[in-house]
Amino acid sequence: MKNIAIICSGGDVSGMNPALKHFVEYSIEKGLKPFFVYHGYEGLIDNNIKEVTYKDVSGIINRGGTIIGSARSMRFKEAKYRQIAKDNLDALGIDMLVVLGGDGSFRGLDIFYQEHGIKFCGIPATIDNDINGTEYALGVDTALNIIKTSIDAIRDTASSFRRAFVVETMGRDCGYLALVSHLTSGSELCLIPEKKYDLKDYEDRFKQEIKDGRGYFIAIVSEGIKQKSSEIAEWFEKTIGIESRVTVLGHIQRGGNPTIYDRLMAYKFVAKAIDGLLNSIDSSVVCYTKKGFEYKSISEVTSQVKQLDEELLVLI
């Protein structure tokens, strides 16, 4: 019987627990012995690795976050600690890893594979949806739904008090969450790093809309733009002439009950990852594209910055 382990690395996302559940079930179905590595690459180094069965994943499918924890490991960047990790895996007879994380996590495992031959398959898991080569990353749908619910609630008070609300989303240097949330919430303004903007371009239109009876504005901005959200709010007050507030959604976007779509995608990603490893695809990331699921090399995934869909960009 071959042994296989799974790791969560980097930021947690809703969808990781459904992935862990299916990892155990699908591994056993394929005649593998599943293991959990707790707290990311730190767990590899500290030998925090445990064999698991069905009972370990009972009742977790509806929970956000990850029951095995996640972390960013500076030690794993050093060769001596990667050797310790290899020795720990050897002692347990584990030579296959599935990692839920982002491109930084994948780079780390690629180095590990080149040095020690530990086969792996990466599963994109980040609400930022900023991984090149995949249309979708685990956790994105849940994050978008949390943003949707928040904006809908903010709209209630914005319309009641005749205010402008500047809603800041996460995403680092990728504006995907802000862009999709803008298009699906009917907000009046969207500012993202991928598209240059000048607030002067909106002045005449927004002032005219107020004269025509508009009582409130919703502006969605990505955290990666050069201006602070407070500066956008100040512009609404001083230039447009409407009282303004800022809402930074922050880490609520990373948690919460996983949506149906994230649960389903977790199952599909895990099955593809394990199938790939069993079919001698030894160092890859399983990506979801317009053609379906594809296995891509680390270099292909990490060689360039992800580009947002031009069909969506032209709509803002």
- For residue 306, the one-letter residue type is K
> CA separation (Å) from 282 to 90, 97, 279, 286, 303?
17, 10, 8, 11, 19
Nearest one of 153, 159, 167, 121 to 287, comparing CA atoms:
121
H helix or E strand, kind and range, residue 207: helix 200-211
Q: Which of 128, 130, 141, 262 is catalytic?
A: 128
95 given a catalytic annotation: no
Nearest one of 236, 264, 263 to 64, comparing CA atoms:
263
Output b/e per residue, 163-183; b: 16+ Cβ within 10 A. Answer: bbbbbbbbbeebbbbbbbbbe
Q: For residue 35, how many C-alpha atoms fall within 13 Å in the half-sphere facing its CB?
A: 24
Contact (Cβ atoms closer than 8 angstroms) between residue 14 and residue 64: yes
The residues carrying an active-site annotation are: 128
